[in-house]
Structure 1
Amino acid sequence: MEYQVIDTQIAPDGRLEVLSKAEITKLLDTSHGGLYQLFRSCSLAVLNCGSGLDDGKELLERYKTFDISIIQRERGIKLDVKAAPASAFVDGVMIKGIQEHLFTVLRDILFVHGEIEENSQFDLNTTEGVSDAVFHILRNANLLKPQVNPNLVVCWGGHSISGIEYDYTKQVGYHLGLRGMDICTGCGPGAMKGPMKGATIGHAKQRIRHGRYLGITEPGIIAAEAPNPIVNDLVILPDIEKRLEAFVRIGHAIVVFPGGAGTAEEILYLLGILLHPDNAGLPFPLIFTGPESAKDYFLQIDQFIAGTLGEQARQRYQIIVNDPSLVAQEVLEGIKKVREFRKAKGDAYYFNWLLKIDAEFQKPFDPTHENMRNLELHKNQEPHLLAANLRRAFSGVVAGNVKDQGIRAIEKYGHFEITGDIAIMEAMDALLSSFVAHNRMKLPGKAYTPCYRVIK
């Protein structure tokens, strides 16, 4: 099947207007370890906004002739784009928001490579070094606002949700917007788009003209969750672990909607951090919510958490079903406690420095078949460490579902094998099976072939 494509040249609009020759050389380096393939794949994902495709491998194969290069001029740079998805254009002109996101890709890839990975100032083998790197990436993207009271709500949830669930996310976003809350998500469709869409109406009614709709992503997932059109601040972190840390450092509360393996990964990441003894007294509002039809979904999540991490973990979140207004009220009350706590401790409102994040939550996890098979999924360890390993298991499932590298590994070597304590394996198998049964692994209308096998 042929897909409509367009060639164009675009210039930045007040963003990254000049590059050095060395930067351009790095971006166009096609050798192993060069930046070109990363630049190309992230750019293509941004240009594919709104297509409904959630498969990184398929996207790259669908637009094999896509190419992007840099034209260096005395007055500044231009991007030369060949065979871009036609959906990124209106009457042959690239949509403004997509153009901005394209230059965001350029900005973040250059900054991470040149100022973080090649900079001896950042020791990425220490917890402090990783957190400092996340801080600098967010600051470079201009996401840290020091003169603003806490008001940023992170919304997690699946890109593959029903129409009823999507409408519910918009209602929650609307009630958050009415209360002056800004929204941060993984920037994709579904539960990542709905809260932003709802908040735009709430902000409009309150005459809030500068509402913030932050999208946080990483190269491996951006093809499956291309930035939705509402995102007005986008940042690309170098890996999933730094992406997750960015969410919990910058957000003041988290609302979780129904989702699949990726949402389970996010939940386990945050619960694992909150279960660390150093975070026992730290307020962090966390609410699971959905329409009445999602009641059983959250019951399964709750049972899984109780059966793996225990009662202490269950005390760190609320479940609110079918009440968008109450969700927003509880978020507002929770954020007031966050503000009081940080003010008393002298911590920043814009970056949660006091949150203790163990090194096990910062180490990049490579979901190879061997690493997935060797995960320590047993209860003979501290709950927060078990949460870290469970998070890795779900991260591997996400990779096998939607990431180009993961999909190719499954095609070559077969299913990931997940093994551990029988009780944990039974709980994980039941949860993943429910995700499959309710079409939470892929976008609606797409058949799902499992990339994993739970060994009991």
Structure 2
Amino acid sequence: MIHSEPVKLTPDHTMNVLSQIEVARLIDKADTHVYETFRRCALAVLNTGADTDNVAEVLEEFAEFAVNVIQQERGIKLELINAPETAFVDGEMIAGIKQHVFSALRDIIYISNELTENRDIDLSRSAGITNAVFHIVRNAGLLRGNADSHMIVCWGGHSINEVEYKYTKKVGYEMGLRGLDICTGCGPGAMKGPMKGATIGHAKQRLTGRYIGITEPSIIAAESPNPIVNQLVILPDIEKRLEAFVRTGHGIIVFPGGVGTAEEILYILGILLHPKNKDIPFPLIFTGPKESAAYFDKINEFIGVTLGKEAQGKYQIIVDNPAEVARAMSRSMETVRAFRRSTQDAYYFNWVLHIDLDFQLPFQPNHTNMAQLDLHKNQPVDKLAANLRKAFSGIVDGNVKEHGIKAVAEKGPYKIKGDQEIMEPLDALLRDFVSQHRMKIPTQEYIPCYEVVS
């Protein structure tokens, strides 16, 4: 449903002061890319709780949604027209949703104005990209300079089943009891469950928890922020989003998921497999209920066949034991803190971790790039992980992002080619995801956006 009356919003503490030039760019809508990016991100925030991950459906339903920026001497106001009714209670916008609207404005404006004009940030170089990520998360207020930092990143599917969802809440609860904060991709499913559980654990310990959601413009419409997120950050693309996770997090827990989760697993494994990161402690745990044990067996088998035993040694699998997952992460925090003290690295941003440019430059999924991926064994294992990550990223693109959905509809499925010893386990893993309804929200029939070619 659509809210019938235009709504005017005044910024809260989420927004920094904007210059007249920044406001002017939005008012006259001269930069259509900036305006449209903000409009879509704002729509995604306002559409929190939607039961679809189809971007095209959301944009079609709210095609008349618009945002007008009203300039005032003391700042700005936003006027929302034809906004989703679910964002309101008795005619008033929900406070958390309002905050996230201005978080989106803050990040889109900052990325558009500051990063593109900052001469110290070269987005063609690895160090420049890392600095860009740092500036974005610092501008969003994520970084807190103290030794008690203990941010646990949680990855997993947005369309997990009820048993798995309840398990993520139990793990979150156990982490909350141990004072661990939560960072996720901000959407539903395995991104919401740990936060929901942690709120109870934190409350019992009389702690004020941090529930950080990190997203990017092309996927936020498919994974609108869940209501528990109290700090939302929008990075410009998937690669910077992934780097923000590993730079600001102190450990990662992976719950069951689909291709997006597999992409994230390959991303962190590719980084940890680089020789320069050999001695850096970075706890990585795969976990789920006993009903999902086969899921991680398949993932572990795929990693072993494609990346080898060294990759399998970078993580541990804990099945059906939420308390042990939280204890393992809690124990690891002192090791992480001690290492950062010894290397004089920041507690709040992992500068020491080496990330190759191949993991940082945006991968543009299209039929040509997907068909030309180097999925062969004759390369360093971290490079193979990077290319496998791109393959899964392309499938995510074809599944839920507007660009990919349109491209696949016009030209047919993406073709993925490579060595048979890689293609066969890849095809088997993807078929398993489909059979378990892990590709999209399970109420929708899944039509593959890819074709594996041996």
Which range, TM-score by smaller chain?
over 0.9
RMSD (CA atoms): 1.3
In structure 2, relative to structure 1, the CA distance for the partners of 1:446 and 1:118 (3 Å cut) is same
For 1:25 and 1:126, the matched residues in 2 are separated by 31
1:449 partner SS: coil
Tell me if the contact between 1:153 and 1:253 (Cα under 8 Å) persists in the aligned partners: yes
For 1:30 and 1:58, the matched residues in 2 are separated by 24
In structure 2, relative to structure 1, the CA distance for the partners of 1:446 and 1:348 (3 Å cut) is same
For 2:145 and 2:31, the matched residues in 1 are separated by 40
Which of 235, 248, 270 is the matching residue for 1:237? 235
Q: 2:381 aligns to what?
A: 383
Q: 2:369 aligns to what?
A: 371
Deviation larger for 308-317 or 52-61: 52-61
For 2:68 and 2:39, the matched residues in 1 are separated by 9
Does the alignment pair 1:83 with 2:82? Answer: yes
1:220 partner SS: helix
Which of 253, 256, 266 is the matching residue for 1:255? 253
Deviation larger for 388-397 or 50-59: 50-59
Question: TM-score, structure 1 length as denominator?
Answer: 0.97
Tell me if the contact between 2:370 and 2:394 (Cα under 8 Å) persists in the aligned partners: yes
In structure 2, relative to structure 1, the CA distance for the partners of 1:144 and 1:32 (3 Å cut) is closer
Structure 1 runs not aligned, ≥5 long: none
Tell me if the contact between 1:9 and 1:78 (Cα under 8 Å) persists in the aligned partners: yes
Q: 1:403 aligns to what?
A: 401
Question: What residue identity is the alignment partner of 2:380?
Answer: E
Question: What residue identity is the alignment partner of 1:69?
Answer: N
Tell me if the contact between 1:5 and 1:85 (Cα under 8 Å) persists in the aligned partners: no
Q: 2:44 aligns to what?
A: 45
2:219 partner SS: coil
For 2:163 and 2:19, the matched residues in 1 are separated by 49
Deviation larger for 17-26 or 392-401: 17-26
Q: CA deviation at 1:122?
A: 0.4
1:121 partner SS: coil
In structure 2, relative to structure 1, the CA distance for the partners of 1:291 and 1:29 (3 Å cut) is farther
1:254 partner SS: strand
Q: CA deviation at 1:138?
A: 0.6
Q: What pairs up with 1:258-273 in 2 under 5 angstroms?
A: 258-273=256-271
Q: What pairs up with 1:66-105 in 2 under 5 angstroms?
A: 66-105=65-104
Tell me if the contact between 2:14 and 2:102 (Cα under 8 Å) persists in the aligned partners: yes
For 1:72 and 1:7, the matched residues in 2 are separated by 17
Does the alignment pair 1:450 with 2:441? Answer: no
1:35 partner SS: helix
Q: 1:439 aligns to what?
A: 437
Q: 1:177 aligns to what?
A: 176
Which of 277, 285, 288 is the matching residue for 1:279? 277
Q: CA deviation at 1:166?
A: 0.2
Tell me if the contact between 2:27 and 2:70 (Cα under 8 Å) persists in the aligned partners: no
In structure 2, relative to structure 1, the CA distance for the partners of 1:455 and 1:6 (3 Å cut) is farther
Which of 290, 293, 296 is the matching residue for 2:294? 296
Q: 1:392 aligns to what?
A: 390
Question: What residue identity is the alignment partner of 2:11?
Answer: P
In structure 2, relative to structure 1, the CA distance for the partners of 1:454 and 1:236 (3 Å cut) is same
Residue-pair matches, total: 454
Question: What residue identity is the alignment partner of 1:259?
Answer: G
Q: CA deviation at 1:25?
A: 3.1
Q: CA deviation at 1:31?
A: 5.8
- Once the two structures are superposed, residues 261-285 of structure 1 have per-residue CA deviations (whole angstroms, 9 ceiling, x without a partner) of 0000000000000000000111100
Q: 2:139 aligns to what?
A: 140
Structure 2 runs not aligned, ≥5 long: none
In structure 2, relative to structure 1, the CA distance for the partners of 1:98 and 1:347 (3 Å cut) is same
For 1:454 and 1:3, the matched residues in 2 are separated by 41
Question: TM-score, structure 2 length as denominator?
Answer: 0.98
- Once the two structures are superposed, residues 20-57 of structure 1 have per-residue CA deviations (whole angstroms, 9 ceiling, x without a partner) of 33212323565676311111111101110011221111
Deviation larger for 266-275 or 29-38: 29-38
Q: What pairs up with 1:333-348 in 2 under 5 angstroms?
A: 333-348=331-346
- Once the two structures are superposed, residues 205-255 of structure 1 have per-residue CA deviations (whole angstroms, 9 ceiling, x without a partner) of 0010x2100000000110111110000011000000000000000000100
Q: CA deviation at 1:16?
A: 2.5
Deviation larger for 319-328 or 53-62: 53-62
2:218 partner SS: coil
In structure 2, relative to structure 1, the CA distance for the partners of 1:163 and 1:279 (3 Å cut) is same
1:221 partner SS: helix
Tell me if the contact between 2:286 and 2:315 (Cα under 8 Å) persists in the aligned partners: yes
For 1:5 and 1:399, the matched residues in 2 are separated by 33
Tell me if the contact between 2:16 and 2:106 (Cα under 8 Å) persists in the aligned partners: no
For 2:273 and 2:12, the matched residues in 1 are separated by 45
Q: CA deviation at 1:7?
A: 2.6
> What is the percentage of aligned positions where both structures have the same residue?
58
For 2:43 and 2:4, the matched residues in 1 are separated by 12
Tell me if the contact between 1:65 and 1:83 (Cα under 8 Å) persists in the aligned partners: yes
Q: CA deviation at 1:117?
A: 1.9
For 2:286 and 2:6, the matched residues in 1 are separated by 44
Q: CA deviation at 1:3?
A: 5.3
Does the alignment pair 1:155 with 2:145? Answer: no
For 2:344 and 2:2, the matched residues in 1 are separated by 55
Tell me if the contact between 1:27 and 1:34 (Cα under 8 Å) persists in the aligned partners: no
Tell me if the contact between 1:29 and 1:36 (Cα under 8 Å) persists in the aligned partners: no
Tell me if the contact between 2:9 and 2:79 (Cα under 8 Å) persists in the aligned partners: yes
Which of 358, 362, 367 is the matching residue for 2:356? 358
Q: 1:215 aligns to what?
A: 213
2:83 partner SS: strand
- Once the two structures are superposed, residues 339-398 of structure 1 have per-residue CA deviations (whole angstroms, 9 ceiling, x without a partner) of 111111111110001100011100100001100000000010000000000000000000
Tell me if the contact between 1:29 and 1:35 (Cα under 8 Å) persists in the aligned partners: no
2:441 partner SS: coil
Which of 410, 426, 430 is the matching residue for 2:424? 426
Q: Any runs of at least 4 consecutive aligned residues in structure 1 with deviations exceeding 6 A, and if so which?
A: none
Tell me if the contact between 1:6 and 1:86 (Cα under 8 Å) persists in the aligned partners: no
- Once the two structures are superposed, residues 137-173 of structure 1 have per-residue CA deviations (whole angstroms, 9 ceiling, x without a partner) of 0100010000241311000000000000000000000
In structure 2, relative to structure 1, the CA distance for the partners of 1:123 and 1:31 (3 Å cut) is same
Which of 406, 413, 416 is the matching residue for 2:414? 416
2:217 partner SS: coil
Question: What residue identity is the alignment partner of 1:294?
Answer: S
